[in-house]
Structure 1
């Protein structure tokens, strides 16, 4: 088993990574639940993993109840948030209890936010079942739901007490979901670790093909990088944690334009957004064109979109920038962008003119 710790003082918590971990999840969940009934929230796609976790709990004499929700981004809504909170209240969940979020990023974000507001905050445990959730959204305490105005605009910082990552669950994912999660893996190399991007170029095909060692290495490296950044800037106040948003400003605009209907899923939006961020950096004279070609080529080889055309987005620059204006990072009318001086050299730029971004997007192929 690999263990990575998110160092947040008294709120520090471990991330445990091990093949087959779900089958003995009770060993790690048990000490946190005080012998009470464990509430598990999951979705229809994860029923097989739910059975594994509940069997482990039952074997340890720990009762559990499960709420199974529809899959997809539409589940991160006001209506489902109310449904989850009402269900937890009917179960009598207390502040000292820990709710289990078993699923991908949608479930983790939704359940984490419900736990942040239920009785002014109760505990929760992340058990991510997608690659994207394992390397990114399950770690760091960002929780949220979507609204008509945009993605993740209503939420809170609320750290889990424990993260359990079982790489074996990735064998049950559709290849598209694995590819989408891989975009977030690559992101860590592009932020500040060019050597890890080299590793991705050499080993990404093995990871996507199901190589167990490559998956453990990628997950461990990614969560260690995120844990380090979160510990340095938990609430994204000094600019360090903002680096994790590489590609997301562009990507969220693409997702919003696609309507969160599954035609463009989050990791695909991130991949296209990262490629756009690098190309915009070239347009501003910041980044060598050769680095952009490496990034775009790697995404293409991985089966991920590398721009507007590949993402199926035909909207104008003005329309995409309008989506960006709803970004939660807007401050005094200014939107910070993650730009790059090269691979592994991402930085936060607070001087970007959205009119310039609009002109750049209008020049992009569709």
Structure 2
């Protein structure tokens, strides 16, 4: 597990990841029988596990090459709708309007399905702040620039046993169209009325003056590392790999939850997932971490040549059925889906190119 990590360490903001790939399951074209290139683009949120999945997949299908561009969810949706990639990836599902646009452009229905859950961690530059407790309202006030110092009374009241520094807070956000931003701002919108009215939710929002941007999860992580007093929101895989201090966020039951794998799993299990797979994970209580997101994959029912369609179905079937895929996800702090949901998703994978 070194390829994606070296990119993050070098501060790359838009990595283009090309992999030789292989299938380790018996659900696709057979061991070593597939050849060609798959192209995908989108969210940086799953990029760490996408790289590890492809590296593991390469063991039995060395003839397949997967080229995934970590350009952000907004870019992934755009490239998918433009039909410049074989699959798109996003932390925001396709809306009915986007699905109609895809259908009109391709001449058949688009397919979308979730593949992984993960936490959006609040990370700091200062190791002394690890475990700092924050509420949704305080996070909203930090990004609205109503709270500008770590020794603010609102933060002190939440952390009476911590010696908080007299240090200016530098909020870092995504500068690109981002599903991570959607997950983060959707959380704030559902939890804080002032944020909902002043900023709202989306893959892009109009940020307050005094905040700084970074391209991708990689860029936000880099800005946090480089700026004393910085706070940012990133996929927990980046926080874990870089050893970034993280906040405990108060959930809907008033519990202070650190973004562990167990807390992500607890949150994902509360999700109500309709047949359309258009859902968000809201109002998380219990032991669940409250800022939890989903990654979706987008494909089409038609328009692929037979070889490309076979590679797509084989690869995503491997992701959903091979134990190694789950193990890699768990190691990076992602929560794989349960067997029941996987069965539903596999039905969607089988729809790829079914109307050709």
TM-score normalised to structure 2 length:
0.31
Higher relative contact order (CA 8 A, sep 6+): 2
TM-score, structure 1 length as denominator?
A: 0.30
**Which one has a larger percent helix, Structure 1 or Structure 2?**
1
